[in-house]
Amino acid sequence: MSDTQVRLTQMVTSAGCAAKIFPHILSEALKGIEWATNANVIVGFEGKDDAGVYKINDELALIHTTDFFTPVVDDPYLFGQIAAANALSDVYAMGGTPINALNILAFPQKEDLSILKEILKGGADKVKESGAVIIGGHSIDITNIVYGLAVTGTIKPENIKGNNTAKPGDKLILTKALGTGILNNVIKFSALDDKYYDQLISSMIRLNKNASECMVLFNANACTDVTGFGLAGHSMQMAQASGTVIRFYVNELPVLPGAEWAIGENYLTRGDKSNREYTKDFVVSSGNINKTKEHLLYDPQTSGGLLISVPEENANLLLLELHKRGDIFANIVGDVSDASDEYKPGTIVFDYN
């Protein structure tokens, strides 16, 4: 792992997307509030989608999103990159192009400001890689370090890849491997072997830009990115919004090297439990459950991959293009079907056969 003298993960109580408010608690807090809307709001609160979309005219809509979290790694520059990649991901999940961003920053100003500079530099470099620009931001002085972005993207209204348009017969492709939450916990509470650390960092700093461009090229029907609510939570939201049933072939899910070892050592995040609670009424397991792999389904991902719902005839072509462009862990991991007497709309089936 990095030889930095800074231990950012020791300066905060919880790390990355695992620091999110528990989803069942957040859902309860949002209930009963009358959110104003108008005819130009194409995507709002109702589907728990990755970003909001506001129509400007028939040729242009703006995608708005924000994401920020506490450090998942000890290196400030890498943390800045990871946080920025994670925030940009929501625009990519909608099939859009990020154009600008605002920094969101909390930092204890009594600490070494060179740490702050490196965080901001990491974010700036990652946004530059995306082709967008940072045009401002806001900061506060508090104990916990927090960094992220508010991002604006553009898209043609008819090209939006929401989480509510998965179609029965689609195949599901996951573009990054699972296990970031568990491995980040190893970094926080112990030390992660270099052979695992390097692949974890490579995954988290990789933009979903390429994956987004590929899914648009091969006419994907729907998409979401897999972050704090884990594969189970985000796929459940897609299934509910689409009125479909999603089945995962658990043995086909890509897994980061070291993640299963870390589960065996009990480096589980608090999100493992909360994501189970959030999805318990919609999850069905089939076959002999592998308890180690089961943890991966609920692990909160930081800068995770895209979960793409694509017509079956395009799935293998999309997968080949993803591999060709560097998304080496991408794999066909499931399918979409109609609800039935056996499975209600929104059900997630984890098939261990």
Per-residue 3-state assignment (H helix, E strand, C coil) for 8-63: HHHHCCCCHHHHCCCHHHHHHHHCCCCCCCCCCEEECCCCCCCCEEEEEECCEEEE
Q: Following DSSP, what letter does each residue of 169-208 receive, concatenated?
A: T-EEEE-S-B-HHHHHHHHHHS---HHHHHHHHHHHHS-S
Backbone phi and psi for residue 122, each to the nearest 5 degrees, phi listed first: -60, -45
Catalytic residue at 223? no
Question: With DSSP H G I counted as helix, E B as strand and the rest as coil, what are the percentages for the chain, rounded to 5?
Answer: 40, 25, 35
3-class SS of residue 1? coil
Strand locations in the chain (E): 41-43, 52-57, 60-69, 97-106, 133-140, 146-155, 171-174, 222-225, 244-249, 283-286, 306-310, 331-338, 348-351
Please report how many Cα atoms fall inside a 13 Å half-sphere around the Cα of residue 240, on the Cβ side.
14
The catalytic position among 15, 17, 115, 256 is: 17
With tokens 């996951």, the residue in question is 174
DSSP letter at 277 equals H
- Nearest alpha carbon to residue 70 among 153, 7, 151: 7
Catalytic residues: 17
